[in-house]
Amino acid sequence: MVALVITTIDAPREDAALRAQGVQPITAEWHPPARGDLATVALLTRGYADGDLEAANREAIERLQAARPHLVGAGLAGDLIPGLENHTILHPGPPVEWQHVGPPLRRSIICAVLMEGWAADADAAAALLDRGEVALMPAHAHGVAAPMCAVLSPSMAAWAVTDETSGIEAWAPFIDPEDGALWTGNQTVAAIRRQRLLADRVVPGIEGALSVTGPIDLVAIADEAAAMGDDGVVEHRAATMLLIRALFDGLARRALDAMPPISAMASGNDRFAMPLLAAGAHAALQATLGVPRSSLIAAITSNGTDVGVMLSGLPGAWFTAPAPIPDLAEYVEGSSAVDAAPWIGDQGLLELVGVDARLCLDHDEAPAVATGIVARGHAGWIGEGWATTPIAPIRDALMTLLPAPGTTT
């Protein structure tokens, strides 16, 4: 007796018809490359046949694997970061003009203007920005990773990171506890006070501690935190505890007076280590920038208005699309998707190691970034979800990277 086996591929109507006749087909999960879009298939054909691109990606991945970012210091952002001059604020995501900045980031920027003393009140700060008297610059271009709505102005506290393999430097803002925090889009006197506390008391303590401990290996902290249950993007409870433990001996020896403010900023702040780890990822990814022809994604980040994508082989070139509202979300009680602001922040850098633009197009699936969700109409964190990167800027970036048929690079 011969058994009849029928296999179907992506044919739900045929499956249903067979089952109605008592036949149970074996359904194979398969889709054509790029869902069958012929223009994208042609682009991928060029990409997969490009020997120079393959060699470039191997080099970029080797650089990533060799990267060893370490925490090396802390200080005022204006003292540490080249190009962060007076009346300049660094923001997450690709470049954006003040007129197009969304409400959460707008509140953080105004808060920074007030902290710096460039304006007397929020209305005066907004007027200053309207007149273009404060420069808004993407943090990424200055080697800074700014998670969520965090910004950096010259007088703010900043972490300093160095990749010991390449020597590349990166920085990140400190973040205060979530309730009323600047990095969740708050524009309050309390948020300004905490930024000043970080700059005046916490930074000298961290510097004192590091003078005892020496540089702290961020890869080791990230690996151990992952083994303890951190997801490395939204959850940083273990990483925060490991960071404080690594600093503890130095704090006890050289910075006892900084223990209370550091405790105040880290206690109950499960994401205290998040910007530091994002800076480490940024330093590692920057090591791949400028590898000619590489199709690895070196940055996916959002300013709350636009998502920006950058390839390793196209340093400095942003490919953008409107920022999405995070989906698959869990909201705090009383909030829902109608309250959510579009995705914002540089924290997506933590999830990009080794992502190839070709594979994204091949599977018609761009990276989804785990992210916190901030409110559009009022300040504060209202949930967590996944922000799916639009596929269009990845396609545009690969089209720019690869020469069209009949052309030369």
pLDDT tens for residues 329-344?
Answer: 899 988 888 999 999 9
Which one has a higher pLDDT value, 249 or 348? 249
Q: How confident is the model at residue 372 (pLDDT cuts 50, 70, 90)?
A: confident
Q: How confident is the model at residue 64 (pLDDT cuts 50, 70, 90)?
A: very high
Rounded average pLDDT over 291-295: 94
Is pTM beyond 0.85? Reply is yes
Q: How far apart are CA 179 and CA 16, in angstroms?
A: 52
Domains and CATH numbers, the chain: 1-28 (no CATH), 38-63+289-401 (3.90.1700.10), 68-284 (3.90.1710.10)
Q: What pLDDT sits at residue 348? A: 83
pLDDT higher than threshold 60 for residue 2? no
Q: What pLDDT sits at residue 1? A: 47
pLDDT single digits (tens) 140-168 = 999 999 999 999 999 999 999 999 999 99
Rounded average pLDDT over 368-397: 89
Q: What pLDDT sits at residue 31? A: 63
Q: How confident is the model at residue 25 (pLDDT cuts 50, 70, 90)?
A: confident
What the block records as the tokens of 404 is 């069209």
Q: What pLDDT sits at residue 377? A: 83
Q: What pLDDT sits at residue 178? A: 77
**Percent of the chain, pLDDT > 90?**
64
Q: What pLDDT sits at residue 172? A: 97
80: part of which helix (H) or strand (E)?
Answer: helix 77-80
Q: What pLDDT sits at residue 277? A: 94
Q: How far apart are CA 333 and CA 287, in angstroms?
A: 42
pLDDT higher than threshold 90 for residue 368? no
In terms of Cα–Cα distance, which of 284, 345, 365 is closest to 298?
A: 284
Rounded average pLDDT over 201-208: 95
Q: Give one DSSP letter per residue of 160-221, joined into a string.
A: EEEETTT--EEEEE----STT-GGGT--SHHHHHHHHHIIIIIHHHHHHHHHHH--EEHHHH
Mean pLDDT, the chain, integer: 89
Q: What pLDDT sits at residue 4? A: 64
Q: What pLDDT sits at residue 89? A: 97
In terms of Cα–Cα distance, which of 175, 166, 210 is closest to 74?
A: 210
395 residue type, one letter: R
Q: How confident is the model at residue 187 (pLDDT cuts 50, 70, 90)?
A: confident
Rounded average pLDDT over 36-56: 86
pLDDT single digits (tens) 295-324 = 999 999 999 999 999 999 999 999 999 999
Q: How far apart are CA 180 and CA 164, in angstroms?
A: 36
